[in-house]
Structure 1
Amino acid sequence: MSVTFQVIDPESALPADLVERLDEAAGRSAASGRPDEKLLAELGQAGMFGVAVPAEYGGSGGDARLINHVVAEVARVNPSAAIMLFQHYAVSARIVEWGEPAQRARLLPALAKGDLLAASAWSEPGAGAAKKRLSTTAVRLPDGRWRLSGAKSFTTSAGVAGIYLILARTSETVEESGGGYGSAGQTFFLVPADDPGLRPDQSLDLIGMRGSATGFVSLHDCVVGDENRLGPLGEATSIIAGVRRTGATLGAVSLGIAASLLDLAVEQIHRRPQPPDGVTRFRLVDLATRVEAARALVERAGRRDADDPGITTLHSKLFATHTAEQVGVEVARLLGSGGYVVGNRVNRLMADARAVAHMGPTNDLCRELVGAAWLG
């Protein structure tokens, strides 16, 4: 199977055959709780992996506006696939921005082509939402290599990714850097999946995002070269701080979910023998207004034209996730008793909507970051 997908502009839609495959895979994953690896291969063949990679390395050279658009369109059909793509784009963008020339030449073509799916492994038990108290360590060996040891939790694409961006502590002194994300003395490492010291675990049985392969990653004396280090030693906080300023937002995933919920409501209303009454029409219009407001904020984050693009990105996640959950509740009410059937898609989408709020930065951390920047 081969699909040709060329991202031209942020107004383009996904090809119909790819939408069909995304939908079919979403149904399979909802039942199995497992990622659909066949779908991942098809997304790679369709050119979807290269959206955030510059054209010189074989990608589409997309900016944040394009990334948000593609993620939202995929999430409208398959939120699990959307969150996997979002994390892949995030790692790709970090390599573009912070990678050494040799790193970019080695990794970006494979990331663009679909030969390599990237995952972020930052979270871990006890580290807190802000990732300040990391237990995962990276110790420099006499030969200049690094030994990584620790465990990561809630890693999207665990077990199916080809490379992991690992956040580790490289300094014995833990210095909490104010109210931000991460702390001094932390460093990023790019660890290939075939490293014998890296062990993924897909045993988590999730309520939402069931096809996202979200699980654990453990590092047992995982030894990598210094060429696997991404960015300056001990300055991961600089990389993290710049992520939200790029304008790529998890709010795009929530936007796609909210739009899908609204589509579902309209479809169900049209199936009824009688046209909707005035109250139902007004409720649907109100929901559509909320979705359009979320779309406008996500698009503004992608344009990066606000006085503080990073704050707008955080606002976009907060508002879009809240909107998706609100729309889900209202749509379930509109559907009546039909919304309480286990197999109804509304329940799957509502569970996916809840999941995004807990993805990093969590919504509570977003509020802390906005409050610190806005209120001092």
Structure 2
Amino acid sequence: MSGHDPLSPEERAVVDVVRDFVDRDVRPVARESEHANRYPEQLVERMKQLGVFGLAVPAPYGPAPVSAPCFALVTEELARGWMSLAGAMGGHTVVCSLLVRYGTPEQRERWLPRLATGEVRAAMALTEPGGGSDLQALRTTARRAADGSYVVQGAKTWITNARRAGLIALLVKTDPAAEPAHRGMSVLLAEHGPGMTVSRDLPKLGYKGVESCELAFDGFRVPGDALLGGREGRGFGQMMRGLEIGRIQVAARAVGVGRAAFEDSVRYARQRESFGKPIWRHQAVGNLLAEMATSLSAARQLVLHAARTYDGGQRSDLEAGMAKLFASETAMRIALDAVRVHGGYGYSTEFDVERYFRDAPLMIVGEGTNEIQKDVIVRQLMRRGGL
């Protein structure tokens, strides 16, 4: 990366370790594992050893947390190797940040040490069938029982890590009659148990290996002390703050996929010759590479800007939304241009380019569609009076 390094020497070492892991262990097996749609158990175990799952967990529960720019660059490296690996730690990190920011002392003590090591991995359960990005329209309810526990009814969908998560941050309505609707929402820290069913694994264009599932809740009970922060009605605001780092993470994934597609294209354009010269010397191909490099660099800077804003403690939904919007659209465009550079080979499953083209759309629709991001951006622009 050119220009001023936003990381401390210690954080740069963290990113370098992850980059080496990706080059040595991930890229050689990613294509085969992805085509087999096989869960990357050994790679996830290695990520645990590297401390990837504890990047947002502070002492005394874990190591010193890294900055948001460092987290974004680690995510970029993982996605450069195989985007599914970045997905495996994305929602997990959001749940960690929710516990750090809003959890009771007992909740932090119970969960954060095991989340930091990856012994327990976490998932978010927000989206519902038919609800999409409209979280205020959610229908999953949690009724308080006589014994103080919550009884959950409803369904969630597109839940990454749903089968393997030991902790699920579950957004529910504890007061369905509340007006406005978001005032009646709460987050429950749920574990698998009777009444929670993984109803199906969703078939996907890309994002293979890591499961995305639907969850059904029918009389599912959650202890009363599993209410995040110990007070009802705060779940929507808690999740919105959590989604700021989540959208930065998705944007960083997009940069990683775009970078992989760009780097593969540069290598191929140097090696492939036509009409007696490397194809990068043909203006049509050279222009593609120039545009890819420019937009990729701009996307990374937007991500780092959003990360710095988040670290500053300011509300960063505008910056995170802009980063997610631009980086994801950039990744999609670069992935398509990488197919153009590779020609027929870009359409072959023997090259990684077709995987990037299948993975890139997830960042356009994930963590709130880009159409929703535009709505978030313009609302914040009006609220702030501009940039």
Partner of 2:265: 265
Is 1:184 the counterpart of 2:183? The answer is yes
Give the match for residue 9 of structure 1.
Answer: 11
Tell me the distance in 2 between the aligned counterparts of 1:296 and 1:10: 17
Secondary structure of the residue aligned to 1:257 is helix
Matches within 5 A, 1:1-376: 8-10=10-12, 12-13=15-16, 14=18, 16-176=20-180, 183-193=182-192, 195-231=193-229, 232-245=231-244, 248-273=248-273, 274-275=277-278, 276-279=280-283, 280-304=285-309, 309-375=316-382
1:235-260 CA-partner distances (Å, limit 9, x unpaired): 21221232355584411010100000
CA contact (8 A) 1:57 1:112 kept: yes
Paired residues of 1:67 and 1:248 also in contact (CA < 8 A): no
Shift of 1:97: 0.3
Deviations 1:285-338 (A, max 9, x none): 221111000011101111116986321111000000010011111111111111
When residues 234 and 36 of structure 1 are mapped into structure 2, their CA distance, relative to the original with a 3 A threshold, is same
Residue identity opposite 2:175 in structure 1: S
- Which consecutive aligned stretches of 4+ in structure 1 deviate over 4 angstroms post-superposition? 244-247, 305-308
How many residues are paired up? 364
Mean CA deviation greater in 74-83 or 124-133:
124-133
Q: Which amino acid in the other structure matches residue 264 of structure 1?
A: D
The question of whether the paired residues in 2 share the 8 Å contact of 1:249 and 1:313 is answered with: no
What code does the residue aligned with 2:269 have?
Answer: I
- 1:180 maps to what in 2? none
Instruction: Report sequence identity in percent.
Output: 28
> How far, CA to CA, are the matches of 1:360 and 1:88 in structure 2?
14
Distance 2:65 2:330 in 1: 30
8 Å Cα contact 1:76-1:256 kept in structure 2: yes
Instruction: Decide whether aligned partners of structure 1 residues 19 and 117 sit closer, same or farther in structure 2, where only a CA change above 3 A counts.
Output: farther
Structure 1 residue 86, shift from structure 2 partner: 1.3
Give yes or no for contact 1:25–1:39 (8 Å, CA) kept in 2: no
TM-score, normalization by structure 1: 0.91
Instruction: Show structure 2 runs of 5+ residues with no match.
Output: 1-8
Q: What CA deviation, in whole Å up to 9, does each residue of 1:125-169 have, x standing for no partner?
A: 122412112121111011111111211100011211111111111
User: Is the CA contact (8 Å cut-off) linking 1:126 and 1:133 kept in structure 2?
Assistant: no
Higher relative helix content:
2
Q: 1:61 to 1:40 in 2, by over 3 A?
A: same
Say which SS state the counterpart of residue 209 (structure 1) adopts: coil
